[in-house]
Amino acid sequence: MPRWQRLIVGFFLIVVLSWHFHIQLMQGAAAWLARDDRPYLQADAIIVLMGDAAHRMPYAAELFRQGLAVQIWLAPTDDEFAHHGVNVREAEFAQQLLMSAGVPASAIHIMDGALCWSTRDEALRYRDYLRSLPQLSRRVLLVTSWSHSRRAAWTFAQTWRDLPVHIAVAASPVPGIAVENWWRTEMGFDIVFNEYVRWLYNWLHHFGW
């Protein structure tokens, strides 16, 4: 068989196999992004990463009500919600969501200092806060969206390498967008695609590019 014919046959085999296994490939691509450390253990604090507050905060409140921690920590970020008619910073909006879900204001702590612009900024802010405590926390529960969970855990682990603190991850669900079906909606496709782009940026930054 001539080389060009082998190339055509190989191309069509790849197309057929990709179509046959496309669901497994799609699910595998999203599953790699997700990390969830169930069963969750008692933690000194729940850290809720900013972004997607409408889903992360109710999930964090649910974990709080289960008694998994007595404090919830938030970091100040650059996001505002004026386009939703709520003229507050995201951390303040998140605090309102937590309180409406039954978390007392006394259990919510918003970090002081400048605004955080990235997951790494949040990790650095919490690292500095932990170092300032008279007694270092031993375990924290990190709450973020499932698509962001593995990158968040990696970022915190890299940033907290000198801290003897165990980081567990609780991946909050996003209604209608899951590992099993993310590619069926435009929003789900955007979430997964953009997360891989952010992974690429983080790797390049980590290795000094």
Distance CA 34, CA 170 (A): 10
For 121-154, the pLDDT digits (tens) are: 999 999 999 999 888 778 999 999 999 999 999 9
Helix (H) or strand (E) holding 7: helix 3-20
**For residue 20, pLDDT beyond 80:** no
Q: What tokens appear for 132 in the block?
A: 């300032």
Contact criterion met (CB below 8 Å) for 168 and 140:
yes
Pairing of strands 80-81, 86-89: antiparallel
For 88-120, the pLDDT digits (tens) are: 678 899 999 999 999 999 999 999 988 899 999
The predicted model scores a pTM of: 0.85
Helix (H) or strand (E) holding 94: helix 90-100
Q: What tokens appear for 168 in the block?
A: 């567990």
pLDDT at 114: 87
How would you list the strands of the sheet with 72-74, edge to edge? Answer: 108-110, 72-74, 45-48, 139-145, 166-172
Distance CA 141, CA 91 (A): 18
Contact residues for 32 (Cβ-Cβ < 8 A; gap 6+): 150
Q: Band the pLDDT of 13: cuts 50, 70, 90.
A: very low
Contact criterion met (CB below 8 Å) for 143 and 170:
yes
Contact criterion met (CB below 8 Å) for 89 and 79:
yes
Distance CA 37, CA 59 (A): 15
**Domains of the chain with CATH codes:** 1-33+176-209 (no CATH), 36-175 (3.40.50.620)
